[in-house]
Structure 1
Amino acid sequence: MSVSEREKSYEWQVEDARAGQRVDKFVTAQGEWSRSLVQSWIAEKRVTVNARAVKANYRLQRGDRVALRVPPPEHLAVTPEEIPLDIVYEDADIVVVNKPRGMVVHPAPGHHTGTLVHALLAHCGNLSTINGVYRPGIVHRIDKDTSGLLVAAKNDSAHASLASQLSAHTVERSYTAIVHGDMGHERGTVDAPIGRNPNQRQEMAVVRKNGKRAVTHFVVREKFKGYTLVDCRLETGRTHQIRVHMAFIGHPLVGDPKYGPKKNRFSIQGQALHARTLGFTHPRTGEEMTFEAPLPQDMVDILNRLRRESGL
């Protein structure tokens, strides 16, 4: 085994400024690792405080000695696949893709081939390693049946920068959605915590207990008979956030198989949701970059039908 493939060890002493901070957040800030990866290491007891294993929510005290054992990198288990991609922008550090509806972002149970990761590996050759062998390059995700913009990192430095921007809520992420019902407000904000649905573990829901803060801002763009076209801007990035929030206020997304009506009268496979705008600071140059992707044809077709039905 080469030196680069050996387990690496780190140790830090907690200073006054970090006292009271969660151990998972503290360790994440020490290197180019995602918080979810650090949490997995904590679960594997690779992180200790004063030589004792702790939970991710342990609050550090002044003088604590935090140790981390980083496992050797796994050999990449995902085989590149030549799958057409809609590349919006690309350079040596990042690649911005307009993902089609129906494509899974990374391998997961039931989706071992045909994902965006498979396609990116074939296109780029190398991707960042921070998120492990099954999610190389993936900094953020959009649902399988949501279309639109996503940025992937080609190296760990770019990944760490983008992940930090997401954590600081400085990444611009705007979506366009078609929802059921006539919204009574032209704009608004949904500030409601999201967590696992206690009655249906495969779904997310607005929950007060163990929910994470979730904030979605929306603006009405166009109204039809029984439907509304809205723009949604994410302040946070919880799983299924827009879908859950819109359903919570009584306006579920058209075609949503989890949170919408069971009957779908439109020819769309999945929710009518499109990640339209993506903005961030380039990890190397510091340039402010903003990208936009036009609505996919399936949503255009729905809007044209609604305009006809509404006499617009």
Structure 2
Amino acid sequence: MKNKRPRSRGFRPAKPKVYKVTETEELLPFLLKVVGKSRNSVKSILARGQVSIDGRVSTQFNDKLKPGQEVTIRTDMVTEAAPLQGITIMYEDDTIIVIEKASGLLSIASDNEKANTAYRQLSDYVKAQHSDNKIFVVHRLDRDTSGVMVFARSEKIKQRMQESWKTTKERAYVALVEGDVSKSEGTITSWLKETSTHKMYSSKYENDGLKAVTHYQVLQGNKDFTLMEISLETGRKNQIRVHMSDIGHPIAGDKKYGAQDRSMKRLCLHARKLNFEHPVNGMPLRFVSDIPKLFTSKSR
């Protein structure tokens, strides 16, 4: 469904807000009082040309205001957002946005990285369409996992999609794993637990932890690497990475779970297919992302 990208019209239109000036002061402190947002947010509103004084657009924070003037703030303007980095939009409408995320890009903020995340970039993107717009994470991909990811454009849609996520018709990944996988297909079942250092592992005992079920099918391979398609029956943290390590074939580049080859510059796991019903109209949606060339070249 690539390239099907209808232009969003700004799904929360609002009338311009008009404020009367009652005393002599500069524009920035006036805006800070009436808008009630942070200094950076107010400066962004100014930079986007959304503020006018008596009908004249102003982008200068130190413009002088006089009693009797009117300051207008437009929140219905469509402005140009900063270029997206590590993100390709596959589909968007007024309800959802589906992206292809690059390896190395965080889904959401962490303690060490708050600015350059998929969430932050898409938040800026929708706010450029309308300053009141918001974005909500439906599901996450690990930082080093690439592929298809879905965001909702309202809290209600996010909750609706998360409630139905377990019944998603298709969630398929491709992984390049180390070694020659002898079985052409199989199912891995275990109960996952987490260590104090946040590493997942399969318990030796049944029902000791969260049940995780992974299905795999070999696509191609050689003595060094195997390319396989993986589908999830459950969606546990690091599930695929743990299960591939469990069968003796860790994902290439995954040092955390036992990969030995040091030539890989990324974790070789990619969310390739996602098939679900539209949360509003029920129409079937299916998204397929290309297999990274690195995966196919190493497994020939």
State the TM-score, normalizing by the size of structure 2.
0.67
Distance 2:202 2:219 in 1: 25
Distance 2:83 2:109 in 1: 15
Q: What's the CA shift string for 1:132-179, capped at 9, x where partnerless?
A: xxxx5101101000000000000122212210111x333421000011
Distance 2:152 2:187 in 1: 31
The residue number in structure 2 matching 1:195 is 193
Q: What's the CA shift string for 1:228-262, capped at 9, x where partnerless?
A: 11000011111111001110111100001311335
The residue number in structure 1 matching 2:280 is 284
Residues 169 and 235 in structure 1, CA contact (< 8 A), matched pair in contact too:
no
Q: What residue identity is the alignment partner of 1:175?
A: Y
DSSP-derived class of the 2:210 partner: coil
Percent identity of equivalent pairs: 33
RMSD: 2.3
Distance 1:152 1:127 in 2: 13
1:275 to 2:271 alignment: yes
Q: CA deviation at 1:303?
A: 2.9
Q: What residue identity is the alignment partner of 1:144?
A: R
Residues 169 and 236 in structure 1, CA contact (< 8 A), matched pair in contact too:
no
Structure 1 pair 162/302, CA: closer, same or farther in 2 (3 Å)?
closer
* Structure 1 residue ranges (4+ consecutive) displaced by more than 6 angstroms after TM superposition: 78-81
* Structure 2: gaps of 5 or more residues: 1-36, 45-80
Residues 224 and 299 in structure 2, CA contact (< 8 A), matched pair in contact too:
no
Aligned residues: 217
Structure 1 pair 237/306, CA: closer, same or farther in 2 (3 Å)?
closer
Q: CA deviation at 1:223?
A: 1.8
The residue number in structure 2 matching 1:124 is 126
State the TM-score, normalizing by the size of structure 1.
0.65
Residues 226 and 299 in structure 2, CA contact (< 8 A), matched pair in contact too:
no
Structure 1 pair 215/174, CA: closer, same or farther in 2 (3 Å)?
same
1:163 to 2:166 alignment: no
Q: What residue identity is the alignment partner of 2:297?
A: N
The residue number in structure 2 matching 1:86 is 88
Q: CA deviation at 1:127?
A: 6.0
Residues 165 and 280 in structure 1, CA contact (< 8 A), matched pair in contact too:
no
Structure 1 pair 263/178, CA: closer, same or farther in 2 (3 Å)?
closer
Residues 142 and 150 in structure 1, CA contact (< 8 A), matched pair in contact too:
yes
Report which of the two structures shows the higher radius of gyration computed on alpha carbons: 2
The residue number in structure 2 matching 1:251 is 249
Matches within 5 A, 1:1-312: 82-84=82-84, 85-125=87-127, 136-166=135-165, 168-197=166-195, 201-207=197-203, 208=205, 210-266=208-264, 268-269=265-266, 271-296=267-292, 300-307=293-300
